[in-house]
Structure 1
Amino acid sequence: MIKLIAIDMDGTLLDHNKKIPEDNIIAIRKAAEAGIKVVICTGRMQSGVIPYFEQLDFAGHDEYAILNNGCSVHHTSDWSLHSYSELLREDVALLAKASADYPGVYLTFADQINYTVLENVVPDLVAYDAGLVFTEAKPVNLGTVFDNRPIFQAMYLAEKSVLDIFQAEQAELLSKTFSTVRSQSYIFEAMPKGVTKASALAKLSADLGYSPEEVMAIGDADNDLEMLAFAGVSVAMGNATETVKSIAKYETSSCDEAGVARAIETYALKK
């Protein structure tokens, strides 16, 4: 019996127009009404999740959200922190050193409220990405980046061709100290070592008394791989990468065809 459903956002809960299909909303509400915990599990920061979560309208249910690719877990009733992992000053210094010789690679950070970039002014690409999570990026330096603590995660943003070179030359070194993932063509992320969506999901499941066999996860991208491997019921979206499809037990329809709703109906609410 499924007691918790972990749902990725972009390319999963959201269609390609960044909207939640109505069928997904209906199915998620039915799951919550059936007593199943519904956990949004995303790389987004808090500001990029709340407007969508409000559309789900859980009517008093206290759910959870795993944000920042597993760095923070929140109670959705008031968005207080349930648990979190953070980057330290020496981590930020190492991350800054890694990108120092790469013009066009911008090091950004997410805390609970702020989206910051280690630059004198906010580059257009960073401003664009901040807009996707309904906030504005702020420039910081190594002396001011920790004015707002904790810092959950870091992201390197760059045009794809530039980021390809950076990743090829720096990913192996960075992965010795951080959990890293290329989450989008223009984003390479670095979290505290050992932190992934799966690590946060495993801890939350244990806190709630659920075994992996009672967890269902739905995702589409490589930052969902560990989460899908953890869950007893793993579902790849129809638009998922081939790597995701290869490890998931099941496949649903695409994000533009309310694949989340079909998965919930088939694997969580089935009699």
Structure 2
Amino acid sequence: MIELIAIDMDGTLLDSRKQLPQENIDAIQAAVAAGIKIVICTGRSKAGVKPYFDQLGLTEEEYVILNNGCSVHETLNWSTLYGQPLKTEDILDLQSHVDANPEVDLVLATNKDYYFIGENPSAIAQADADMVFTKIHPISKEAIAKIEESVYNAMYMGEAEAIDDFQAKNEKVINAHYSGVRSQTFLYEVMTKGYHKATGLAHLANHLGIESGNIMAIGDANNDLELLNYAGLAVAMGNASDTIKEQANKVTKSNDQAGVAYAIKEFALKV
């Protein structure tokens, strides 16, 4: 019996135009009415999630897992249930990897804003900030320690070819000390070592007293792999790569065909 559904956002809950299909809203509301907890589980921070969550029209206490599992929040007042931020010394270390790669930006994500280490963020970094309704603030290395909000996620951004090259050169060293994942062609994300979407979900499941076998997870990208492996029922989107589909128990329709709605109705609500 499914008691909790963990749902990725980009490429999953949202269609390719970054819109939330009404079919997904209706299915999520039906799941809640059936007593199932809904958990948005995303690499985004709060600013990029709340406008969509508000569209769901949910009035009970639900939960969101943000920043690739590094923070967990209740939704009635958006209080933080759990958080694992990066330290200032971690950020300075991560910044050192771009000194020889000027075509790559390092952007820091808090639950309110983005911070770019440098003077002029690239068009790619600015576009990503705009997409998640977030301001991007250029800062110096010296100002990192003065950021008032917790920095949960460090993001290397650039053209796909530049990130390919950066990842090939630096992934082994970075992953020896942190958790890194290529979640988009233009984006390589880094979190505290050992943290990912599944660690956030495991913390929440323990808090709620729900066993992993009673959890359904829906995702499409590399940063969903641990999430899918943790859940008792793993559902890959129709638009997911073959690698993701091979890790799943079920495959639903694509994000442009309201695949989340189909998965909820077929795999969670049907008995």
| Counterpart position of 2:33 | 33
| Counterpart position of 2:81 | 82
| Counterpart position of 1:175 | 175
Give the Cα–Cα distance (whole angstroms) in 2 for the partners of residues 34 and 118 of structure 1: 46
| Counterpart position of 1:134 | 133
| Counterpart position of 1:43 | 43
Deviations along 1:206-256, one digit per CA (max 9) or x if unpaired, are 110000101000000110000000000110010011111001000111111
Q: Equivalences for 1:190-229 in 2 at 5 Å? A: 190-229=190-229
Give the Cα–Cα distance (whole angstroms) in 2 for the partners of residues 32 and 61 of structure 1: 9
Deviations along 1:175-197, one digit per CA (max 9) or x if unpaired, are 00110000100000000000100
- Runs of 5+ unmatched residues, structure 2: none
Flag as ranges the 4+ runs of structure 1 deviating above 4 A.
none
Deviations along 1:127-154, one digit per CA (max 9) or x if unpaired, are 1110010122111122222322311110
Q: Which residue identity does 2:157 align to in structure 1?
A: L
Deviations along 1:74-100, one digit per CA (max 9) or x if unpaired, are 111121111010101221111011111
Q: State the Cα RMSD in Å.
A: 0.9
Give the Cα–Cα distance (whole angstroms) in 1 for the partners of residues 165 and 121 of structure 2: 22
Deviation of the 1:125 alpha carbon: 1.5
Give the Cα–Cα distance (whole angstroms) in 1 for the partners of residues 248 and 234 of structure 2: 5
- Runs of 5+ unmatched residues, structure 1: none
Q: 8 Å contact 1:16–1:255 — kept in the other structure?
A: yes
Give the Cα–Cα distance (whole angstroms) in 1 for the partners of residues 74 and 118 of structure 2: 32
| Counterpart position of 1:115 | 114
Q: Identity over the aligned pairs, expressed in percent? A: 46
Deviations along 1:85-116, one digit per CA (max 9) or x if unpaired, are 01012211110111111011100101121111
Deviation of the 1:33 alpha carbon: 1.3
Give the Cα–Cα distance (whole angstroms) in 2 for the partners of residues 115 and 194 of structure 1: 23
* Length, aligned pairs only: 270
Residue 145 (structure 1) aligned with residue 144 (structure 2): yes
TM-score (norm 1): 0.98
TM-score (norm 2): 0.98
Give the Cα–Cα distance (whole angstroms) in 2 for the partners of residues 22 and 201 of structure 1: 26
| Counterpart position of 1:21 | 21
| Counterpart position of 1:62 | 61
Deviation of the 1:123 alpha carbon: 2.3
Give the Cα–Cα distance (whole angstroms) in 1 for the partners of residues 17 and 150 of structure 2: 32
Give the Cα–Cα distance (whole angstroms) in 2 for the partners of residues 75 and 43 of structure 1: 17
Q: Which residue identity does 1:150 align to in structure 2?
A: S
